[in-house]
Amino acid sequence: MPELPEVEVVRAGLAPAVAGARVIAAEVRDPRALKRHVPLGADGAAADDGLGGHGVTLTAEAGLFRSADFERRVTGIRLAAPERRGKFLWIPLAEEAAGTALLAHLGMSGQLLLRSLDAPDDRHVRVRLWIEHPAHGELRLDFADQRLFGSLALDALRPAAGGGWVPGQAAHIARDPLDAAFDDLAFVTALRSRSTAVKALLLDQSLISGVGNIYADEALWRARLHPATPGLRIGPRKAHELLQRVREVFAQALAEGGTSFDAQYVNVNGQAGYFAHSLNAYGRTGEACPRCGEPIRRIPFAGRSSHFCPRCQRRR
């Protein structure tokens, strides 16, 4: 799954081309890419297409209904500057559609690609928007998704649990540590009050957003913390250090364009990041720890894996 750095790379790449642009046409090529989009009825209320807002299996009739609703509502709208919280990315709508946003959930393989009008098709394009920008002219904004875990949706903006306004589907998401309004003390206090393993706490998007498996392993390696260490066994100084390590690894990953292990993780121009070459723990099972030389170990964790150094990151 893309984590904060990969999503932020996409947001930053979109901003110059979409902020102030108007959608002049839309085409839904695969209704499955709208599984989180809730269509509206004639009265403006959410319409029941038999699937709810997060239906995964679309009948042909429901797919056509959802596609027609999305194309109708998105065509002609003006886009504001894209925003992000944690792994969630959205483009607020301006003018008459204010209070609504185009929410992009990238899932495992979703991509938002900016292309010239005459560019050849990328593979797995599910939704296409034609946009016109006052300075950059006409462009294509393609949503491509090989595995179809991602989606686009029009969603109303709502007050978020951590403050601010976000799409309703992201209202439960906490602020991320790169957000200027992130509350360091509240995070440290919550972390140290729980018996849950520290890695699970880092992955709890209601506590701190944007951290996934890769960057949790990297931050814990830098902080010399075993992933299974209970939060309540971590002192305040070490908890603050861990938060700083999360920020450090995010900053480095952003500078290097994110982590790309395959062709799925790319920026809006289709270019891969290279932070994978800077990883110290994640995916390095059996390789020497860059700090002490001990082989990196991998252990099962919640259906995934944790990578750590058994010498540098002793279990408390």
pLDDT tens-digit series, residues 154-167 = 999 999 878 889 99
Nearest to 305 by CA among 204, 224, 203, 235: 203
Residues placed in the known binding site: 124, 147, 194
CATH number at 4-170: 3.20.190.10
CA distances from 206 to 53, 105, 150, 229, 250 (A): 21, 17, 20, 20, 18
Residues placed in the known binding site for DNA: 124, 147, 194
Distance from the Cα of residue 81 to its chain's centroid: 17
How confident is the model at residue 47, as a pLDDT? Answer: 63
CA–CA separation, 75 and 25 (whole Å): 5
Quick one: pLDDT band at residue 45, thresholds 50, 70, 90? low
Task: List 299's β-bridge partners, or say none.
Answer: 306
CA–CA separation, 251 and 20 (whole Å): 28
Mean pLDDT of the chain: 89
CATH of 184-308, one of 3.90.230.10, 1.10.10.10, 3.10.50.40, 1.10.8.50: 1.10.8.50
Do the domains 4-170 and 184-308 sit in the same CATH topology, yes or no? no
How confident is the model at residue 96, as a pLDDT? Answer: 77
Q: Which residues are catalytic?
A: 2-3, 87, 304
How confident is the model at residue 274, as a pLDDT? Answer: 44
How confident is the model at residue 256, as a pLDDT? Answer: 82
pLDDT tens-digit series, residues 82-134 = 999 998 999 999 987 889 999 999 988 899 999 999 999 999 999 999 999 99
Region 2-13: mean pLDDT is: 89
Region 7-30: mean pLDDT is: 95
Domain borders along the chain are 4-170, 184-308
Answer whether residue 303 shows pLDDT above 90.
Answer: no
Residue type, 31: P
Region 241-267: mean pLDDT is: 77
